[in-house]
Chain A
Amino acid sequence: MATAVLESLIEVDHYAHLMARAQDTDAVTSVLNTYLSSWSEERIERLQAIDGGWAPFDEWLRPMPILGVRDILFLPRAIRDHCRAVRAAGVEIATELLELDLVLFFAAERAAGDDSGRALAMEYA
């Protein structure tokens, strides 16, 4: 039986595969929204205990919609900066935050490779 971390890793694999196959940023957005809607309330609660308010879930533990390339590029930076801060404080990063960080990173890199995302990615660089 897979452990919690391995289950998380399998999720990352699944959604990274879908993003790699996405034809454009609209498809990446759709995959990302599907991914966020797959989170259980229990997992969101654990995430919100450590996300510094940056994860895309509201106070009712519902996913906030990713509206397009701007969100896809902004969110991973916010989460990654938060992870850096957590790491710098000498704290282990929770599995939920790690999983979100990796999925958002794959989404952002995929979107930044697309024509519509390239200019924005340079803006954020």
Chain B
Amino acid sequence: MATRGDSELPTDLGLRRALARIAAAESAAQVLRSVQTYLSTWPRERVVRLQLLDGGWAPFDEKQRPSRINGVRDLQRVHNAVRRQCELLRQSAIAPNPELIELDEVLYVAVQAAQLLQARKSKAQSEGAA
């Protein structure tokens, strides 16, 4: 039942694990922790490649360390910036590299999951208060 194929790249495994953690999250806070964990698994050389095209928007500092993401709004802000950068590159006929595409997609799924879980919690609280 193990699912890792012989041909699976280490980055694929890391990505799948990150998604599994986001999918298993039951609160926005858990989604944020999953994202932070995912960012912390990026090896320095991948961050260096990412930073070639990220326009300074990816959540890593100049020493290739992950930046802290402070809440769902911050996560959305980071994702919006990364997606906009991908769009700008495409408009300039430059293909975003795999690192940037991966980050964009993971952040997108994380934002969606975090927002939906946050909305669910708010709804449950307002229904509980009613």
Contacts and interface: CB of A to CB of B under 8 A. Distances in A.
Interface of A: 1-6, 9-10, 12-13, 16, 20, 49-50, 80, 83-84, 86-87, 91-95, 98, 101-102, 105-106, 109, 112-113
Contact of B101 (A2, A49, A86, A109): A2
Nearest to A101: B23
Contacts of A3: 9, 11-12, 15, 98
A47 B112 CA distance: 24
B24 A6 contact: no
Interface stretch (B52-60, B69-77, B113-121): B113-121
Given A16-B109, A109-B116, A5 B16 contact: yes
B12 A98 contact: no
B3 A95 contact: yes
B130 interface: no
Given A2-B98, A3-B11, A91 B105 contact: no
The B interface is mostly helix, strand or loop, or mixed, namely: helix
27 contacts: A2-B98, A3-B15, A5-B12, A5-B15, A6-B101, A6-B102, A9-B19, A9-B102, A9-B105, A9-B109, A20-B112, A83-B23, A83-B24, A87-B20, A87-B24, A91-B2, A92-B3, A92-B4, A92-B16, A92-B17, A93-B16, A94-B3, A95-B16, A102-B109, A105-B116, A106-B116, A113-B119
The A interface is mostly helix, strand or loop, or mixed, namely: helix
Contacts of B19: 5, 9, 98, 102
